[in-house]
Amino acid sequence: MPALPTPQKDKDMLRFLTCGSVDDGKSTLIGRLLYDCDQVSDDALDLLKRESKKIGRAGDTLDYSLLVDGLMAEREQGITIDVAYRYFSTPARKFIVADTPGHEQYTRNMATGASTSDLAVLLVDARAGLLTQTRRHASIVALMGISQLVLAVNKMDLVDFEEAAFRAIERDFAAFADKLGGVEVTAIPVSARGGDNIATSSASMPWYKGPCLLSHLETVQINESCAAAPLRLPIQLAIRPGENFRGYGGMLASGTLAPGDAVRAVPSGQVSHIARLVGSDEDLQMAQAGESVTVTLADEIDLGRGDVLCAADDPLEVSDQMAAHILWMHEKPLLPGRKLEIRLGAQSANVTISALKYIVSYDSLEHLSGRTLGFNDTGFCNISIDRPLVFDAFKNNRTLGSFILVDKMSNETVGAGMIAYGLRRADNVHWQALDVDKRTRAGMKGQKPCVLWFTGLSGSGKSTIANRLEKLLMEKGAHTYLLDGDNVRHGLNRDLGFTDADRVENIRRVGETARLMVDAGLIVLVSFISPFRAERQMARALVDDDEFLEIFVDTPLAVCEARDTKGLYKKARAGEIKNFTGIDSAYEEPQNADIRVQTETASAQDLAQDIFEILQNKGYL
């Protein structure tokens, strides 16, 4: 008597993604899987009937991507830009498959699909062999912690099902995969269009003795390390509906949880026990990784969004400096020193890339030196955060070991990161409390310290106005210091050039110097082109809200170029100076400057006097 099928609720779930280069057949393969598993909706079959006269499982004229009901988010010119998920099942297992685009510009979508997958099906066109995008996707799969990889060598029908073509690709990829470390590869020759080795073994390739794709997906062992790992419950919501109930909701990132378990709140370190474990409808006796729960505690502990409940004897790390792999997802390069927003679980903070240690070559996996990360590059970096965050190493916990990076100006997601480890020096360096503080120093000088940040094009008149203003301030007994762009590059920043990355570092150093001078109680005048809004915002964020005044010296490019007192514009136009602001490097005008002056309509002395009076009226003097 044949065995009865496993009840649906008792089947385990395999999450996998399909990836690879453009036109390798990812959507066709998924369509064939769904079709052969009888998971195709009536709507999809009706569409297929309208599009093709021939219906049949082995038909060689069918485009099986038409069977993927609701799977693809098509755009003009046939480019898929979204990650589309599809559920299906067999008698042995349930599946969620992510169809990710192969185009280079949508590698971010592939990384999104990989972040929640247990296995990756990497497609390769049998005619083309391994491409850069193939290696890129394989590297990202390994980086995302996926240890099971199927190399599906597709379109074998277009190379006459020759074993030699398959074996050559299999060997090439095996040599590459050895360098990835910890990735188990199963190579399967397939023809998604014809169904060869998809759900059943292919008669056209008798030389292949391994499993078909579906059989492998049904039997591959799923990594269940999350369930066996220590308890990690990130708090997403504090629930306080009444005096008799105070709960904390979130999804278990790893481990199991039951009433009576001893837990430790991080970062506070307070210890308590689980009083109740509440599911969607009723109290639970146990919850495991992947389940959303609400817990109540035996003790009054002040928990909030971003805190984490851990096993009492195995707490998480807390640090403001970490080492991480970063996949850069934006067309504008990552510039170390530029301030971004980090979102790690339910936590968020400001972050800068303090050091780019190396860039990973997708072709050779060698570590290359570099100053910036370009679009789709992966690099190993040190990151510095403006407050300590709770985290785990990515290899131990995907949820608490991964983060995204968000551009603070545009709110776009620009990067994804996987934490390798916390930097120990972060635990050994502490802010030293001093008896003499900024208020004391400023009080002795009889002034309110601040940064007067002059920005504008070269030749706009920034330095002239700042110089005149400092003289006026000195005449009134103010304690000042002027940081001028050219002068600082003779010393503090003499090692920097004029690339975008160097400009960011230039302003970062000057901003930190200005902050120290404000702490000393000084009025600091900063005269720098400072072309990027992000860096000016970074400098503003280093001091208190009322300690920074952005002064936009709004002089048109044509006027600045006509002045050309240093002859720099002439050289830039002749190509003798590269990365010159206003010519071949952008200047981002302030959107909401605190003070705006125009040198076309007033003299530098008059403008300095105007600014001086503003400072008096605002109580800085």
Q: What are the tens digits of pLDDT across the range 170-188? A: 999 999 988 887 789 999 9
The Cα–Cα gap between 375 and 362 comes to 13
- Helices vs. strands in the chain: H and E counts, helices first: 17, 27
* pLDDT of residue 24 exceeding 50: yes
Cβ distance 129 to 155 under 8 Å?
no
529: Cα separation from own chain's centroid: 29
State which of 112-116, 405-409, 410-414, 554-558 shows the largest mean pLDDT.
Answer: 554-558
What confidence tens digit (pLDDT) does each residue in 214-235 have? 999 999 987 666 667 888 899 8
- pLDDT given for residue 598 in this prediction: 92
The 3-state DSSP class for residue 277 equals strand
Does residue 155 register a pLDDT over 60?
yes
- All structural domains of the chain: 8-221 (3.40.50.300), 230-311 (2.40.30.10), 317-425 (2.40.30.10), 438-617 (3.40.50.300)
Mean pLDDT of 571-583: 85
Dihedrals phi, psi of 8, to nearest 5 degrees: -55, -45
CA count, 13 A, side-chain hemisphere, 509: 16
What pLDDT does 57 receive? 32
How would residue 80 be classed by pLDDT, with cut points 50, 70 and 90? very low
The per-residue pLDDT for 581 is 86
Mean pLDDT (whole number) for 33-62: 47
Q: What's the pLDDT score for residue 45?
A: 44
Contact, 40 vs 69, CB < 8 A?
yes
pLDDT tens sequence across 331-370: 888 888 888 999 998 899 999 988 888 988 887 888 888 8
241: left (phi over 0), alpha (psi -120 to 50) or beta: alpha
Helices (H), 105-224: 107-114, 132-143, 163-177, 213-219
**Per the structure block, which two tokens stand in for 125?**
């066109």
Q: In Å, how far are 280, 554, 586, 602 from 559, measured between CA atoms? A: 67, 10, 17, 14
Residue 531 — very low, low, confident or very high, per pLDDT cuts 50/70/90? Answer: confident
Q: Which residues, 6+ apart, have CB-to-CB distance to 58 below 8 Å?
A: 194, 195
Higher pLDDT, 244 or 157: 157
* Active centre residues (catalytic): 530
Nearest residue to 384 (alpha-carbon basis) of 412, 413, 423, 346: 423
What pTM was estimated for this model as a whole?
Answer: 0.67
Q: 87-142 pLDDT, tens per residue?
A: 888 888 888 888 776 566 666 777 777 777 889 999 999 999 999 888 888 888 88
Structure tokens at 63: 């485009």
Provide the b/e sequence for 188-203 (b: ≥16 CB within 10 Å): bbbbbbbbbbbbebbe
Residue 161 in this model has a pLDDT that exceeds 80 = yes
Mean pLDDT over each residue of the chain, to the nearest integer: 82
Going by pLDDT thresholds of 50, 70 and 90, the confidence category of residue 64 is very low
CA neighbor of 159 nearest in space, from 210, 125, 209: 125
